[in-house]
Amino acid sequence: MTSTPLAALLEALATRTVLVAGDFVVDHYILGRPSRLSREAPVIILEHDGEEWTPGGAGNAARNVAALGGRALALGVVGADAEGARLRDALTGAGVSADGIATDPSRPTVAKTRVLAGGVHSAKQQVLRIDRGERGVVSGPIRAALLDLADALLPMADAVLLSDYGYGSLFPELRARLLDGARARGIPSCADSRFDLLSFRGVDIATPNESEVAAMVGVSAGTDEEIDAAGPALLAKLGSRALLVTRGSRGMRLYRADGSRDTIPVIGPDEVADVTGAGDTVASALVLAVAAGAEYGDAARLANAAASVVVMKRGAATASPAEVRRALSAGGAEAAADARPTPREERARAPR
Active site positions, annotated: 280
Is 90 in a helix, a strand, or coil? Answer: helix
Tell me how far apart the alpha carbons of residues 40 and 16 are, in angstroms, rounded to a whole number: 55
- Identify the DSSP state of 341: P
| Burial class, 141, CB count within 10 angstroms (exposed 0-12 / middle 13-18 / buried 19+) | exposed
* Relative orientation angle of helices 5-12 and 321-331, to the nearest 10 degrees: 170
- Identify the DSSP state of 347: H
| Burial class, 312, CB count within 10 angstroms (exposed 0-12 / middle 13-18 / buried 19+) | middle
Which backbone phi and psi does 135 adopt, to 5 degrees? Answer: -100, 120
Q: How far apart are the first and last CA of the chain?
A: 39
Does residue 29 contact residue 52 with C-beta atoms inside 8 Å? yes
Distances, alpha carbon 26 to alpha carbons 57, 92, 234, 244, in Å:
8, 13, 31, 27
